[in-house]
Chains A and B, each alone.
Chain A
Amino acid sequence: MSDAGAATATIPRAADAARRRRAFGRLATRNRLAVVAALALLAAVLGALLAPWLPLADPDVVDTPNRLRPPLSAGHALGTDEFGRDLLARLVWGARVSLAAGVASAAAAMLFGVTLGILGGFYTGWIETVVMRLTDILMAFPYVLLAIAIVAGLGPGLRNAMVAIAIVGFPIYTRLVRGVVLSLREREFVEAARALGASDAVILGRHVLPHLLSPVIVAFSLDVGAKILATAGLSFLGLGTQPPTADWGSMLATGRQFVILSPHVVLLPGLAIFVIVLALNLVGDAVRDILDPRAAAR
């Protein structure tokens, strides 16, 4: 019985996988832009990871005689900043900070939000009330404002900025997941599992969690870009990364004073943020098309 069950279960799964691969192939050929975006993203991630081994100048070495050199100067492909530091090196090292901050704060928001969403959707009563009122109150604030207020309390710094962004970001996941869990709770397979004596942990882990993967992955892939923008924004206000560490937002903030003489010190970090977030959004859209074809059709 169990063998037969396993056999019938693997055939549709294999067919599913093959269908997904074909769908992915079709999408890749149709959506060339997303492929280009994914490659750009891969290059940025590799550059950020391999920064210590790349033939780059030290991003923090001050060289005042060579300050504010334009791009394509000798020894400085993208020029230098107000302290004569190599802009290419600072952009690549800044990518490490900006990408890591975006991914980490989105991941923290996702983990916390999904957990609360599962609890709020699965358990009625006081747990649901507490979870939903908390998200309601957090959503009663403008997003950026609350993040700034939290950083004000915790003190400026990259880690605190990431914590703030994760806190203001989790209610989106909670709302999304709670809605899905509420509908799943009433489905026959959950009732059947409960009738067979499965514990809450088994029901949640084996029957509910797999259904959450698609919507959460889609939301996460579109969220990372938003979180990179948010951390860059806090750094721009002087509340995120502190000198001398480079991230794209703080590079923009310090370069602003020299924008008349040397626009490149501001244009380049902003362009880096724009290109990476654009690539993330394109890839996120493609992920949604693959995992949620109904949304793509809309």
Chain B
Amino acid sequence: MRRYLARRLLLLVPVLAGVSVIIFMVLHLSPGDPAEIMLGSQATKEDLARLRADLGLNEPLHAQYLRWIGHVARGDLGRSLWMKRPVLGEVLTRLQATLLLTATALVLSSAVGVALGVAAATRPNSMLDRLSAVASLFGASMPSFWLGIVLMVVFALWLGWLPASGMYAPHGGGDLRDLLSHLVLPAVTLAAASVTIVARLTRSAMLETLGQDYVRTARAKGVSDRAVVLRHGLSNALVPIVTVIGVQAGYLLGGAVLTETVFAWPGVGTLMVQGILARDFPLVQGCVLVVALSFVLVNLAVDLLYAWLDPRIRYE
């Protein structure tokens, strides 16, 4: 296991190198002069020359990349042109909010999705099973940002049960209760599509394990229904379920951008969109890099979870 972990960590190096090249390249895709794009058409020649020198834009592309990646390796993601502050500190502050939202949505979608999937698999073709099939179709078709707005209108504006946006109340807030009440709507919005995906996959994985001989043997031995479903069924169906939950973690991390925008949640997503609209390339680069790194680490964690869940899996 330790050797596998070391190998996986080594394998991260080429993936991260590739990710960094892509991030660097996409922001140099634009046909015009990046300095002009960032500063706009009103900029003076002196301003443009200064920015070019600051960002090393006069050097050849590979030299620019090496300079940038050298700084990144030392934890220097550059300075935000728009906020005039170091990018790393700003992104890490915002990352906490994004991770809180994503993790809450992931816990919500895993718990509700697995429970729904197990219930649907134990009663195939029941009303609940059919409802979950319809819900999964709806989940795959509904724009999350629209669902967010609808939930906001109903629960914040019409019923007044929950706050409409932000992370804390502007006056008198700041405690855990305030944070949780602000978290409910964005987390439910973000989790909605994932719940249906996790539920459908749990259902099919459970149906497969519940059809196995050892489950029939367990039933014949008089094991209670609950123990058959949980101990013999669910624990053996966990590997594909964890896989899909891992995929969902990445999806939620990316999808958080839209949800954060709807609810003005102060995460990396809103920061990145503001950065793009302000043409702040160092800020956008930093946001993308940090989120992509989190995504790669989540995938690694999911792979390591397999070995723990299923001792038959041996990594060589």
Contact = CB atoms under 8 A, between A and B. Distances in A.
B257 A270 contact: no
B179 interface: no
Contact of B27 (A137, A153, A249): A153
Interface string B151-188: 01100010000000000000000000000000000000
Nearest to B276: A152
Contact of B273 (A138, A237, A281): A237
A123 interface: no
Contacts, number: 141
Given A155-B37, A260-B157, A277-B141, A148 B150 contact: no
A131 B28 CA distance: 22
Nearest to A137: B18
A238 B276 CA distance: 10
B255 interface: yes
Given A140-B295, A270-B150, A278-B137, A233 B276 contact: no
Contacts of A267: 150
Nearest to A133: B18
B195 interface: no
A20 to B, nearest CB: 25
5 contacts: A140-B18, A256-B262, A274-B142, A281-B137, A298-B204
A109 interface: no
A236 B261 contact: yes
Given A225-B141, A239-B273, 19 more contacts: A137-B22, A138-B22, A140-B296, A140-B299, A141-B254, A144-B255, A145-B253, A145-B291, A146-B288, A149-B284, A152-B276, A152-B281, A232-B143, A237-B258, A249-B143, A263-B153, A266-B153, A274-B141, A282-B137
Interface of B is mostly: helix
A157 B25 CA distance: 19
Given A142-B253, A144-B257, A137 B288 contact: no
A55 to B, nearest CB: 29
Contacts of A144: 254-255, 257-258
Contacts of A237: 257-258, 261, 273
A284 B281 CA distance: 39
A229 interface: yes
A136 to B, nearest CB: 7
Given A138-B22, A145-B291, A274-B141, A259 B149 contact: yes
A144 B291 CA distance: 11
A156 interface: yes
B19 interface: yes
Contacts of A133: 14, 18
B272 interface: yes
A118 interface: no
A266 B152 CA distance: 12
Given A145-B292, A256-B149, A259-B149, A137 B141 contact: no
Number of contact residues on A: which range applies? Answer: 35 or more
A259 B253 CA distance: 27
Interface string B274-316: 0111000100100010011001100100000000000000000
A153 B292 contact: no
Interface of B: 14-15, 18-19, 22-23, 25-30, 37, 137-138, 140-146, 149-150, 152-153, 157, 204, 250-251, 253-255, 257-258, 261-262, 272-273, 275-277, 281, 284, 288, 291-292, 295-296, 299
Interface in A243-283: 249, 252, 256, 259-260, 263, 266-267, 270, 273-274, 277-278, 280-282
A71 B14 CA distance: 56
B35 to A, nearest CB: 14
Contacts of B277: 156, 238
Interface string A150-170: 111111100000000000000
Nearest to B26: A153
A295 B260 CA distance: 36
B39 to A, nearest CB: 14
Of A140, A263, A280, which is in contact with the most chain B CB atoms at under 10 Å from its CB? A140
A273 B146 CA distance: 9
A149 B27 contact: yes
A84 to B, nearest CB: 22
Contacts of B253: 142, 145
Nearest to B149: A266
B291 A152 contact: no
A83 interface: no
Contact of A148 (B14, B141, B262, B276): B276
Contacts of B141: 225, 229, 274, 277-278, 280-281
B166 to A, nearest CB: 15
A154 B32 CA distance: 10
Contacts of B14: 133
A143 interface: yes
A141 B258 contact: no
A140 B146 contact: no
B295 A274 contact: no
A180 B93 CA distance: 45
A277 B15 CA distance: 34
Contacts of A239: 273, 276
